[in-house]
Chain A
Amino acid sequence: MAEPLIRIENVVKQYTRDTQVLTVLDGLSLEVDKGEFVALMGPSGSGKTTLLNLIAGIDRPTSGRILVGADEVSSMSEGALAKWRSENVGFIFQLYNLVPVLTAFENVELPLLLTRLSKAERKKQAETALAVVALSDRLDHYPRQLSGGQEQRVAIARAIATDPALLVADEPTGDLDSKSGEEILVLLERLHSEFGKTIVMVTHDPKAAARAHRLVHLDKGVLKEDVRAKGEKGEIGVAAAAAIAAGK
């Protein structure tokens, strides 16, 4: 059953500022199975976003290999990577990153413009995605006419519009009140359980991490903890997550 979707092999990521070399990820290795819901935790600056960006193919490691499915993301060209992302990854951001001048429908249609789908097919698929996030009645609303929670749901609809296997979310509830945040977590949970998405989610919030089925704790660019929930539909649990986040 455990078939790895993501294989991170001995990845190093360094930034060079002037003459100083900053090592953000220091020889990190990690495998994520197909269909897993992983929460990535760790203190600020520990390299969570950096790791997520590498997995999603918007950044490249200094050394090491990253494979997603059969594709070696770490060695693809810029152009090939762009095409790969459009087919394989859905992005969910902390600040939603919707295009303000486009309606909810148009935002969700955006990634579909990169496919060969006809206009009618795009419409059907975008509407389906918006139905999944329960925003069928907001198709023609602009982002500024929506609440933060609704904006994030539109962003999730955009992320799943092309039906990618992998969803990456960088603090998806970080800018939301707890009620809206809860809705988003329920939605992610559903995408995982109902639609079989593999989800990698960066979060600070133990309550959010508790929803995941596996918790990876990063500190100073190395893996500190890697906990899997037990049982069939088990979750990490808030207390455990909090304890791990606190560095126990």
Chain B
Amino acid sequence: MLGIPLKYNVRNLFVRKVTTTLTVLGIALVVAVFLCVMALGEGLTRVFTASGSEKNVLVLRQNSQSELQSGLGRDQIPLIRALPGIEKDADGKPLVSAELVVVLNLDKRDGGSSNVTIRGVEEKGMALRPQMKLTEGRPFVPGTSEVIVAESVAKRFKGAEVGQEIRFGAYRWKVVGHFDAGGTAPDSEIWTDSEGMLNTFQRGGFSSVLARTTDRAARDQFIAGVAGDARLALEGKVERTYYDDQTSTAAPIKFLGFFVGIVMAIGACFGAMNTMYAAVSSRTREIATLRALGFSRLSILFSFVLESIALAFIGGVVGCALAFLLVKVALSGVTGTTNFATFAEVVFAFRLTPQLLLTGIVFSLVMGFFGGLFPAGRAAFTKITAALRQVG
């Protein structure tokens, strides 16, 4: 490769310490902000898309957008259980859970209150959600007023430690365990026994039924079965699809991420451009000398674009580190937002995935490329004789 060695560019970056540092910081800031917003969107997406299995079918009343709007009579449950296609657990019992969902306004630890979903499940409720693990305590005993609470909910709400009591009006629930659902929907919930909950809230029926089917064909058969029974007036949705439909909460945040990112990136691009213009003009005679020695316009152009990209790359790496620190330290706790489909609080964490970090680096390289293009063009296309006359 008949080119100017890369060390020439790297050393020049280190020679102009102050401008390099300032430009690097500018680019780093843009990358960090972009990554934080995207990490927020990623966290939200994770809550919904990772939730729900392709094999699980959620049975709701026809035309219900969410479990909260849905209602199933007690008498309908045996009919659903009898439909073909349902998988059996190791113990021979069908993997079905009739569930009741109620949203409660509970007191938060830091004052104020917020809506939390409390979900009553049957025996197979946890088996239907394999990503769930008990992290502390024990499961609730059916028929009692015992509950288990998601770790991330426990961190945010009063009385949610194991051994404590959650209060709502006249209701009392004893917390006997904590669980973790790997960033999926139950991480925003409190769980108890559905039969007990029907009594507590004096409800005549359930919100939904969740059933595991054996395979794709069985799933379609089961869904057709639900739809086919006119007495039921119910519909079955693939659980994954149900949660995907709620992901709309994350879409505007990701859009914001891109929007803010792009606006700031344009700014940072101009910053890099400024720096590179200054670099090129302070090295006018040097560049002319390189060209006199026989380095082609293309190799000069390439060299200066590369210098700008190297500059931006440092910014990108610093930005990633900054975002990483920010997410780990300042935004380490879980955060809540309102799910606009259920109006209950959805708990999620900022998720800075490796792909996202890679996006940040690529983003910085793109900034470097565009910031460097025009200054590099100036370096490559200035007349040699005129440039050699420049003193200083």
Could you say which of A52-60, A204-212, A221-229 contacts chain B? A52-60
B293 & A95 in contact (Cβ 8 Å cutoff):
no
A178: CB under 8 A from chain B?
no
Binds B, one of A85-93, A131-139, A235-243: A85-93
Docked Cα-Cα span, A113 to B294, in Å, equals: 10
Contact, CB under 8 Å: A58 / B292: yes
Q: Which of A83-128 contact B (CB under 8 A)?
A: 83-87, 91, 93, 95, 97, 99-102, 106, 110-111, 113-114
B20 to chain A, nearest CB (A): 13
Interface 1/0s, chain B 1-33, versus A by CB < 8 A?
011110110011001000000000000000000
Bound Cα distance from A10 to B11, whole angstroms = 46
The smallest beta-carbon distance between B292 and chain A, in angstroms, is 5
Taking the closest CB of chain A, its distance from the CB of B271, in whole angstroms, is 22
Contact in complex: B3, A113 (CB < 8 Å) = yes
B384 contacts chain A at the CB level, 8 A cutoff: yes
A186: Cβ under 8 A from any B Cβ: no
Q: Which A residues are CB-close (under 8 A) to B286? A: 97, 99-100
Please indicate the chain B residues that have their CB under 8 angstroms from the CB of A93 in the complex.
289, 388
> In the complex the two chains form, what is the Cα distance from A53 to B385 in whole Å?
7
B289 and A82 contacting across the interface, CB-CB below 8 Å:
no
Complex contact A114–B294 (CB within 8 A): yes
B374 at the interface (CB under 8 A from A): no
B285 at the interface (CB under 8 A from A): yes
Q: Are A101 and B2 in contact (CB under 8 A)?
A: no
Q: What band does the interface of chain B fall in when counting residues whose beta carbon is under 8 Å from A?
A: 20 to 34
Q: How far is the CA of A102 from the CA of B15 in the complex (A)?
A: 11
- B293 pairs with A59, CB closer than 8 A: no
- A82/B291 in contact, CB under 8 A: yes
Task: Give the nearest-CB partner of B386 in chain A.
Answer: A59
Query: Within the complex, what minimum Cβ distance (angstroms) separates B387 from chain A?
Result: 10
Decide if A79 is an interface residue (CB 8 Å cutoff). Answer: yes
A59 contacts which chain B residues (CB < 8 A)?
384-385
Once the chains bind, are B292 and A110 in contact (CB under 8 Å)?
A: no
* B297 in the interface (beta carbon within 8 A): yes
Which residues in chain B, 250-290, are within 8 Å of chain A measured between CB atoms? 285-286, 289-290
1/0 contact string of A26-57 vs chain B (CB within 8 Å): 00000000000000000000000110010010
Measured CA separation A56–B384 after assembly (Å): 12
Find B12's partner among A58, A84, A101, A111 (CB 8 Å cutoff).
A101
Is B296 a contact of A82 with CB atoms below 8 Å? yes
List chain A residues, Cβ under 8 A from B297. 78-79, 82
Complex contact B15–A91 (CB within 8 A): no
Closest to A60 in B: B385
A100 touches B293 (CB 8 A): no
A residues near B389, Cβ cutoff 8 Å: 49
Determine whether B82 belongs to the interface, using a CB cutoff of 8 Å to chain A. Answer: no
Question: Which residues of chain B are near A95, meaning CB under 8 Å?
Answer: 285, 391
- CB pair A114–B2 under 8 Å, yes or no, is yes
A100 / chain B contacts, CB cutoff of 8 Å: 15, 286
Bound CA span A95–B289, Å = 11
Q: How many of chain A's residues touch chain B, expressed as a range?
A: 20 to 34
Q: Is the CB of B289 within 8 A of A97?
A: yes
Closest chain-B Cβ to A100's Cβ sits at a distance in Å of 7
Residues in A neighbouring B7, C-beta threshold 8 A? 101-102, 106
Residues of chain A within 8 A (CB-CB) of B8 are 99, 101-102
Whether the pair A97, B384 counts as a contact (CB closer than 8 A) is no
Is there a chain A Cβ closer than 8 Å to B295's Cβ? yes
B2 touches A58 (CB 8 A): no
Cα A100 to Cα B289 in complex, Å, equals: 12
Q: What is the bound-complex CA distance between A78 and B389, given in angstroms? A: 20
> Using Cβ atoms and an 8 Å threshold, which residues of chain B touch A79?
296-297
Chain B 326-366, CB within 8 Å of chain A: the 1/0 string? 00000000000000000000000000000000000000000
Contacts of A158 in B (CB 8 A): 293
CA distance A85 to B384 in the complex (A): 13
Contact partners of B388 in chain A: CB under 8 A = 53, 58, 93, 97
Beta-carbon nearest neighbor of A84 in chain B: B294
CA A95 to CA B292, docked complex, whole Å = 14
Interface 1/0 per residue, A127-160 and B, CB below 8 Å: 0000000000000000000000000000000100
Partner of A110, one of B11, B293, B384: B293
Q: A59-B385, A100-B15, A113-B2 are in contact. Are A82 and B294 (CB under 8 A)?
A: yes
Whether A101 and B296, one on each chain, are in contact in the complex, defined by CB atoms closer than 8 angstroms, is no
CB pair A58 B285 closer than 8 Å: no
Bound CA span A110–B285, Å: 16
Q: Is the CB of B11 within 8 A of A91?
A: no
Report yes or no: B11 in contact with A101, Cβ–Cβ below 8 A.
Answer: yes
Q: Is the CB of B5 within 8 A of A101?
A: no
A78 to B381, CA, bound (A): 11
A114 and B295 contact, CB distance less than 8 A: yes
5 pairs, A vs B, C-beta closer than 8 Å: A58-B388, A85-B292, A86-B294, A91-B289, A93-B289
Closest 5 CB pairs of A and B: A86-B294, A101-B11, A97-B289, A58-B384, A85-B294
Beyond the given A91-B292, A99-B8, A113-B2, could you list 11 further A-B residue pairs with CB under 8 A, ordered by the A residue number?
A: A50-B385, A58-B291, A82-B295, A91-B293, A95-B285, A97-B286, A97-B388, A106-B5, A113-B4, A114-B293, A158-B293
Residues of A in contact with B (beta carbons under 8 Å apart): 49-50, 53, 56, 58-59, 78-79, 82-87, 91, 93, 95, 97, 99-102, 106, 110-111, 113-114, 158
